[in-house]
Structure 1
Amino acid sequence: MKKIMFSTLIIMGSLLGLLMGARATVIHGDTLKKGTLTVGLEGTYAPFSYREKGKLTGYEVDVAKVVAKKIKMKPKFVQTKWDSLLTGLDSKRYDVILNNVGVTKERKKRYIFAEPYLYSKTVLIQKQNGKLRTLKDIKGKKLAQSTSSNFGQMAKKNGAKIVAVPGMVEAMNLIESGRADAELNDAGAFELWHHKNPDVKVKAVKMDKEIPSVPAAPMLNKNNPKLQKQINQAIKELAKDGTLSHLSQKYFKTDLTKK
């Protein structure tokens, strides 16, 4: 009797395994059929990606949408803090990062990039009476930066004392309160922030002579060259037909899609 029951359990277990396997195949098939492009971004870095009246918007949100449409996929956005973005890509929480990520030699060792969709220009933000003008001036100064960002690495390389912050809003609060001397950040991001906070007495010194514009591009895992190729083609087409320039004018009030 026990042998019969044991055999029955084995048969039932095998059938259950087959059913689960079939169900998993169907789910996987549905996912491929839907064609979802999962995009990692901060969602708190205006005008790149941010929430307005609860809705996710911004230049990179719109770029992701038009790229996804070009490659016949549906965009799905995953928000996370800057310092967690790379970890999320490594663990395949998303397919690609669109978050003003600069193309650097160090990152190219671990990841692959698609075509640039933006060229970032750097400014040194400080109080209106601040006297910092060059990278030499920030040596020994307290700079409020995201530690793993391009700007944070640049500040550290030039001898600044890094005060770690999750984003620009926190950095500006530290500068305004005097707990930090300055911040290196994107010119477009500062202009939008200052437009919304005109009473805060800060200024931005252009760093064009020392820091050339840095291309920002979609970043992917190295094992995803097929998707890279699709995104490359989409961005080239969107640049050619003027879509990227139009979106840049919409969010930055200037065209940052060219060097």
Structure 2
Amino acid sequence: MKRRTLLALAASTMFLAACGQSTTNDADTTATDSAATGGSDLLQRINNGGTINVGTEGTYPPFTYHDESGKLTGYDVEVTRAVADKLGVDVEFKETQWDAMLAGLDSGRFDMVANQVSLTTPERLAKYDKASPYSWSGAVVLAPTNETRYSSWDNLKGLRTAQSLSSNYGELAERYEAEIVPVDGMAQAIQLVKQDRADFTMNDNLAVLDYLKKFPDADLEIKLTAPASEMRGSGLVLIKGDDAVVAKLNDAMAELTADGTLTKLSEEFFGADISQQK
């Protein structure tokens, strides 16, 4: 009797072990099949008309900010909403400080980031993917409207430029042998140009366009724009490896370009088309 009981227990143990092995193998197979077909959780949500979570600052006008009514808006925000419409999904924005933006992406707090990210460093390029750019920017020269000395970048030699010494634009001005007039930031630089204490200032195209849209009577204009080869493109950024999702984002962005939505949003927020590399 005892022998039969022991045999039964042994058989039961073997059966349970086999079931456990089968369950584990099935789980591994499912995970492998999912990875092989690119069936990430994010892709499934997009395919099923679910919700995508997008990180943004909410304090960086005109790209991402709250309007007078408290609504979250801005160029990056509205482009993301347009992309979501093309994909047939809902979008939920999660606001966070810039310093924590990519960390939130790493931890899975959100699926992607919409915050003027251009992925310029090798470290970021190795870790993240970027969908087709929805904005392009580079250095521009801002000077009084009636000035005629800016037919080429080489003409900057010897002219006074109001720049922050530690900025990329200060370094660029030095490369063209301009005379640097030190300032703390763009607002002070513009004031010096308007007061004729500097001949021009150099800054980011999008920042300058935003200023000119807000102050159309400033009697200043963009004289020189960086060539297309030096422009930086910003787009939706996500963790590297979800190629099927990137392809869907790129398709949506192509549709928004073709139907004029990106141009319309660009002109709404900047008074110029920033969606094209030119």
Please classify the TM superposition score into its range, dividing by the shorter chain length.
Answer: 0.5 to 0.7
CA 1:142 to 1:190, structure 2 compared with 1: closer, same or farther past 3 Å?
A: closer
Q: 1:238 aligns with which of 229, 250, 256?
A: 256
**Aligned with 1:109: secondary structure?**
helix
- 8 Å Cα contact 1:121-1:208 kept in structure 2: yes
**For residue 137 of structure 2, what is the aligned residue in structure 1?**
120
Q: Give the 3 Å change call, closer, same or farther, for CA 78–122 of structure 1 in structure 2.
A: farther
Q: SS in structure 1 opposite 2:273?
A: coil
For residue 210 of structure 2, the aligned residue among 173, 192, 213 is: 192
Aligned pairs (5 A) from 1:1-259: 35-53=50-68, 54-104=70-120, 106=122, 107-123=124-140, 143=164, 171-172=185-186, 175=189, 184-186=203-205, 188-196=206-214, 206-209=224-227, 212-259=230-277
The CA RMSD measured in Å over matched residues stands at 4.3
Does structure 1 conserve the Cα–Cα contact (< 8 Å) formed by 2:139 and 2:202? no
Pair member with larger Rg: 2
CA distance in 2, matches of 1:238, 1:195: 23
Cα distance in structure 2, aligned partners of 1:250 and 1:56: 16
- Give a deviation string over 1:80-100, Cα, whole Å, max 9, x none: 333332222222222111222
1:74 Cα shift? 0.9
**TM-score, normalised relative to structure 2:** 0.58
Percent of counterpart pairs with the same letter? 31
Which structure 2 residue ranges, 5 or more long, are not aligned?
1-40, 146-152, 176-181, 193-197
Query: Which runs of 5 or more residues in structure 1 are unaligned?
Result: 1-27, 146-151, 166-170
- Post-superposition CA distance 1:81-130 (Å, at most 9, x none): 333322222222221112222243523222111111122232367999xx
Quote the residue 1:24 is aligned against: none
The CA distance in 1 between the partners of 2:170 and 2:110, in whole Å, is: 29
Equivalents in 2 of 1:50, 1:83: separation in Å?
17
Distance in 2, Cα, partners of 1:155 & 1:86 = 27
Is the contact between residue 144 and residue 174 of structure 1 (CA under 8 Å) also seen in structure 2?
A: no
SS at match of 1:246: helix
Distance in 2, matches of 1:95 and 1:153, equals: 31
